[in-house]
DNA sequence: CGGATTATTGAAAAGCCTCAAGAGTAGTGG
DNA sequence: CCACTACTCTTGAGGCTTTTCAATAATCCG
């Protein structure tokens, strides 16, 4: 029921990447009551239609947001990595409009919505960081819309791989050389609006062209330049430079 | 340079639809310095890469957000109707990640980002409403991702038509019977990830099936029930019932 | 080790796109 | 007010990307 482990370190790191905060802000975050929870793959953390009373952050592992059509087709609209908020939108929206599901074995920190609202109310800098986080999420949605709506399958998948590469590096996971991507090809397809069969063929093409190499669920980025240009990837939409680096 | 006309009426109406506010909030909004501007169709209100210093709201007419791929393909990621904020994301993001362009002749109210930030800082209820507005925009992006990623062309277009129907009615424009949709078929295609040729064929099919009738840029919804079911449309994602109706 | 899930591959079909041309519509200037 | 021009809409034909269906191989998990 208290702060330890990845929380509040990851929380503070996330907030610091979104706004300048001071020691009082850090103290307020550190004293935010939180509860660790570990769940197995496929566990639902949130279901469409629910009225949640808690909000969580991914500490270890991966999760994803999904929406389903009435006839059962799935679209994965976000992939959550360590440091990402699971359901910040529930801070002020009464009803969940999508599901969140664990992709891997997952450790999360949970806070009550009330205490998080209080934190946002009392600490303007933290509030701003949370808001910025929501805005960046919006920006990523816009880029995904462009990706799915207007890029052919090879560029679309290459773009997704580029995004993971950058985001995982920014989160301190993965290296220049590559990263773990614990998604099945069916899930990849659901994230970019393709079928798993086509994902398989396109990935093999990217591999044959020497842009990536795959080993199980590990992606080696063998030619970052060409991978980016195949995707027409530009990381601006991730707003990583949102604030100036904190002074020494 | 001051409040008149649609501003602040529309602004207040929007805020009231997102959170409960009191008379002091209303007064603060009313005293927000604003400037009216009217622009012709296709005018850019915001360009990707810019660092904006103002924020606007649509008062009359329509606008849209777009993103372009490096090879020139366009995706329209939002359509803005009267009462919508044009660039609320610039409140806290330094650099624009997309363009906003006038769809029709357009009248907007412009505020300085500084004064809007001050308003958000001083008036918690207004701030909450603005935040909620950002969150609802995110929810719409998620639904569009599902729509473009996983629905076939007829359902996809039907869904877009349903959304406009509901949003325009909520904004007091359009009736049960139908509405003006001042978009070319090419723009519709860019909004749902299809070509204008295919949009044309699909619209004619929807018309032949008796779901809609078209006259120029006017859409008559001749069978709302069947249009919704063709789209598997569920308006939950619009979060229209975000707050309880204001007490009498 | 055995069962289930995931990855891979082929063949055929479907949906959507491209190209192209003609018809309608709207805006502009004389 | 008409004619001209530029869009926009419409339609056809053909092609290409992606899907569907299906079967086998590989991998994961208990």
Phi, psi (degrees; rounded to nearest 5) at A121: -70, -40
A66 closest CA partner among A199, A183, A216 = A183
Find tokens 């018309």 and name the residue. B207
Give the CA angle between residues A98, B152, A155 to the nearest 5°: 80
Rounded Cα–Cα distance for residues A133 and A238 (Å): 10
Q: Element (H or E) spanning B36, and its range? A: strand B35-39
| β-bridge mates for residue B64, sequence order | B79, B101
Rounded Cα–Cα distance for residues A73 and A71 (Å): 6
Rounded Cα–Cα distance for residues A68 and B48 (Å): 31
| Interior/surface letters B5-26, b for 16+ CB within 10 angstroms, e for the rest | ebbbebbbebbbbbbebeeebb
pLDDT at position A248, please?
Answer: 41
Rounded Cα–Cα distance for residues A62 and A72 (Å): 23
Closest-CA residue of A relative to B193 is: A149
Rounded Cα–Cα distance for residues B65 and A164 (Å): 25
A236 closest CA partner among A139, A168, A129 = A139
Helices (H), A48-195: 113-122, 124-150, 153-170, 185-192
Residue pLDDT tens, chain B, 248 long: 443 456 789 999 999 999 999 999 999 999 999 999 999 999 999 999 999 999 999 999 999 999 999 999 999 999 999 999 999 999 999 999 999 999 999 999 999 999 999 999 999 999 999 999 999 999 999 999 999 999 999 999 999 999 999 999 999 998 999 999 999 999 999 999 999 999 999 999 999 999 999 998 999 999 999 999 999 999 999 999 877 544 44
With 0-12 CB in 10 A as exposed, 13-18 as middle and 19+ as buried, what is B225?
exposed
Chain-chain contact of A93 with B242 (C-beta, under 8 angstroms): yes
Rounded Cα–Cα distance for residues B123 and B180 (Å): 36
pTM here is 0.95
What Rg do the C-alpha atoms of chain B give, in angstroms? 18
Give the CA angle between residues B11, B55, B241 to the nearest 5°: 40
With 0-12 CB in 10 A as exposed, 13-18 as middle and 19+ as buried, what is B105?
middle
Question: Which residue out of A129, A145, A229, A240 would a mutagenesis test of the B interface target, given it has the greatest number of B Cβ atoms within 10 Å?
Answer: A145
3-class SS at A164? helix
Which chain A residues in 137-196 sit with Cβ < 7 A of strand C? 184-186, 196
Query: Is the Cβ atom of A195 within 7 Å of strand D at any atom?
Result: yes
Rounded Cα–Cα distance for residues A178 and A176 (Å): 6
Q: How far is the CA of B42 from the C1' of C13 (A)?
A: 41
Structure tokens at B195: 């070509």
Closest-CA residue of B relative to A65 is: B142
With 0-12 CB in 10 A as exposed, 13-18 as middle and 19+ as buried, what is A173?
middle
Q: What distance lies between CA B138 and its chain's CA centroid? A: 12
Distance from CA of A206 to the nearest CA of B (A): 19
Q: Element (H or E) spanning B45, and its range? A: strand B44-46
Q: Confirm if B125 and B21 have CB atoms less than 8 A apart.
A: yes
Distance from CA of B225 to the nearest CA of A (A): 15
pLDDT at position B232, please?
Answer: 96
Distance from CA of B153 to the nearest CA of A (A): 12
Terminal alpha carbon distance of chain A: 33
Where chain A has pLDDT below 50, the residues are: 1-4, 245-248
């Amino acid at each position: 029921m208290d702060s330890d482990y990845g929380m509040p370190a990851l929380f503070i790191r996330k907030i610091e990447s979104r706004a300048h905060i001071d020691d009082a802000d850090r103290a307020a975050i550190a004293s935010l009551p939180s509860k660790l929870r570990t769940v197995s793959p496929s566990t639902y953390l949130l279901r469409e239609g629910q009225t949640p009373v808690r909000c969580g952050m991914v500490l270890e592992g991966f999760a994803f947001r999904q929406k389903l059509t009435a006839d059962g087709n799935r679209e994965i609209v976000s992939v959550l990595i360590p440091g990402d908020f699971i359901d910040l939108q529930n801070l002020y929206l009464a009803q969940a409009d999508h599901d969140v599901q664990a992709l891997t074995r997952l450790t999360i920190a949970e806070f009550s919505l009330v205490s998080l609202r209080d934190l946002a109310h009392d600490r303007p800098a933290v509030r701003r960081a949370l808001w910025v986080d929501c805005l960046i999420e919006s920006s990523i949605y816009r880029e995904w819309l462009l990706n799915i709506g207007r890029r052919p399958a090879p560029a679309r998948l290459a773009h997704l791989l580029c995004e993971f590469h950058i985001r995982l590096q920014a989160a301190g996971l993965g290296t220049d050389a590559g990263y773990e991507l614990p998604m099945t090809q069916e899930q990849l397809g659901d994230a970019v609006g393709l079928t798993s069969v086509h994902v398989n063929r396109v990935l093999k093409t990217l591999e044959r062209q020497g842009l990536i190499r795959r080993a199980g669920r590990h992606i080696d980025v063998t030619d970052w330049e060409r991978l980016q240009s195949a995707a027409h990837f530009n990381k601006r939409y991730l707003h990583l430079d949102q604030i100036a680096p904190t002074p020494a």
